[in-house]
A and B are shown apart, each in its own frame.
Chain A
């Protein structure tokens, strides 16, 4: 969720869609204040998905505009403004829960693109690049595994979120392993008379950078 190894979510697109429906789900239990929505959202996602309070209010304004939630009349936006779900919001939530996630996104993952590019560039040690990403993925998996190890047995939200992240990251490790096996059988690339200096292409794990969507206030 906080790495660039993300295949599905984009900071401005699907994450916000998920937040939108997660907030609707919270309101389906009864009216809630903005601050309360933020706290409950974080608690139920195992607190590994920090939500900016501004994100909550922006999302609530859009939901209200679309007629999916209603707020107490006359109150200014703020922590004490209470929201409730409308029948239209309930229908939207039910439809969203049953909609399959978009598993057919085009293969444009950043890690895949980096490796594809690296295989075409002269002077890049692709095997070393794969190992750099593999190590970084395992280190990230280790952090999630610690989180899972320390989680209370009944903290279902946290256990489910950490499991999901671990499986997702593992898929990339397996892909790197397969890529490495395929590269072993590849003939060495032809020498380039004027190669691009490989030193300028030193591998930097993508996820060492912060995504915009991950910068929410903590």
Chain B
């Protein structure tokens, strides 16, 4: 199976010489369809840089990034932008919804930018709102929605169309525990339907929703967790060490 996202020995250096900052050093990461991987580390550890490189918003200094098997190196800026529009969805902590557009319009906009006719884009957005449980908020503007609803709209926008790679940076950072949980359930549902997701977070509770957690410190992937065993493992009275 071709991974939806693959990072091979990715290094990112800002500046040069004595003032060079190594934001990422030799990071390998592979995320398959249906998988959610959390990149966990403190602020300044490089996790957001990793996301922006994975989403082709920035270029690595060295190393390769492949989205659905296609290397981004050598692509023109226009081709990268097209790939982003069609294959990659972003979710940010501060939602990044356009304030002058309704919930429906916020979701349909990227489709229209990609050449989908307005009527078809609106229909797709309505379906997305329905799946998000927000059909009754279709005409609401962002400032008429709660934080949790705004983030659900942002996830709907990130996934609408055929986008299979979801990149989320602290997606529930500004939300209370329950709203944050409903956002994570939504991301998990998207993965169950075949999307691949990378979640950058410092928050252990969020990271625990992922299938795998990659720990990043000072730009280096230092460790990773194993996929969670079934819940029955919590009940096991075995004495074997788990590692």
A66 interfacial by beta-carbon distance below 8 Å: no
Main secondary structure of the interface of B (DSSP, over half): loop
Range, interface on chain A: 35 or more
Q: Which residues of B contact A142 (CB under 8 A)?
A: 208-210, 213, 225, 228
Contacting B185 at CB < 8 Å: which of A50, A139, A149?
A149
Contacting B207 at CB < 8 Å: which of A47, A138, A144, A149?
A138
Which candidate, A53-61, A85-93, A106-114, A210-218, is the interface stretch facing chain B? A210-218
Q: Which residues of B contact A50 (CB under 8 A)?
A: 235, 237
Contact B231 A146 (CB under 8 A): yes
B78 interfacial by beta-carbon distance below 8 Å: no
Contact B228 A143 (CB under 8 A): yes
Q: Which B residues from 199 to 243 make CB contacts under 8 A with A?
A: 202, 204-205, 207-210, 213, 215, 222-226, 228-231, 233-239, 241-243
Contact A144 B237 (CB under 8 A): no
When each residue 135-154 of chain A gets 1 if its CB lies under 8 Å from chain B and 0 otherwise, what string results? Answer: 11111111111110110000
Q: Which residues of B contact A149 (CB under 8 A)?
A: 185, 188, 209
With contacts A146-B230, A209-B241 taken as known, whether A141 is within 8 angstroms of B204 at the C-beta atoms is yes
Q: Which residues of B contact A131 (CB under 8 A)?
A: 215, 222-223
B139 interfacial by beta-carbon distance below 8 Å: no
Contacting A139 at CB < 8 Å: which of B209, B226, B230, B241?
B226
Q: Which residues of A contact B223 (CB under 8 A)?
A: 131, 135
Contact B237 A147 (CB under 8 A): no
Q: Which A residues from 140 to 176 make CB contacts under 8 A with B?
A: 140-147, 149-150, 166-167, 169-170, 173-174
With contacts A135-B225, A138-B204, A149-B185 taken as known, whether A144 is within 8 angstroms of B241 at the C-beta atoms is no
Q: Which residues of A contact B230 (CB under 8 A)?
A: 143, 146
Contact B237 A205 (CB under 8 A): no
Chain B: minimal CB distance from A142 (Å): 4
**B interface residue numbers (CB < 8 A to A):** 40, 42, 185, 188, 202, 204-205, 207-210, 213, 215, 222-226, 228-231, 233-239, 241-243
A-B contact pairs, 18 of them (CB 8 A): A135-B213, A135-B225, A138-B40, A139-B228, A141-B208, A142-B213, A143-B233, A144-B231, A145-B208, A145-B228, A146-B230, A147-B234, A170-B204, A174-B204, A204-B241, A205-B241, A210-B238, A218-B236
**A interface residue numbers (CB < 8 A to B):** 2, 47-48, 50, 131, 134-147, 149-150, 166-167, 169-170, 173-174, 177, 181, 204-205, 208-210, 214-218
